[in-house]
Amino acid sequence: MMKRALAVVLLGLGLAAGAVTASVQDEIRSRIAPVGVVCVQGEAECGESSAASQSASSGPRAAGEVYASACAACHDTGAAGAPKKGDVNAWSSRIDKGLETLVTHAINGYNAMPAKGGCSSCPDEEIKVAVELMVAESQ
């Protein structure tokens, strides 16, 4: 009788250990599962979601939004010698060089300013409208 009771207890512990092991393995699988997929335009695996996200793009951001996200940190404070937005004296000699030169400097970087003010994901068009905003408010 004692052997049967011991066998039942060991069997129960074995089943419980197997369930715990399966649970741990499931947790590990969920932690190392990919968080996303890379979609290449035209591949069927991506489905309509990538096409929908492309068509949902609202185009370039407004000048004020670009300025706030990419330019304000330096051009509001004058950090690293950046001319402050609205400072007519600081901007006059720069404006005299022409808008095209200012936009080129902003896109490619100039002196201490990194290319695109550090906003590598900003398209050139957004950088241009931010420069136009700073020039308009600094004349």
| DSSP codes of every residue in 21-39 | HHHHHHHHHHHHS-S----
Q: Burial of 90 by CB count in 10 Å (0-12 exposed, 13-18 middle, 19+ buried)? A: middle
CB atoms within 10 A of CB 114: 13
Tell which CATH architecture fits domain 63-136.
Orthogonal Bundle (1.10)
Q: What integer pLDDT is reported at residue 50 of this predicted model?
A: 43
Closest listed residue to residue 113, CA positions, set 88, 83, 85, 93: 83
Domain regions of the chain by residue span: 63-136
Compare 7 and 42 and report the one with higher pLDDT.
42
Q: Determine the pLDDT at residue 75.
A: 94
pTM above 0.75, yes or no: no
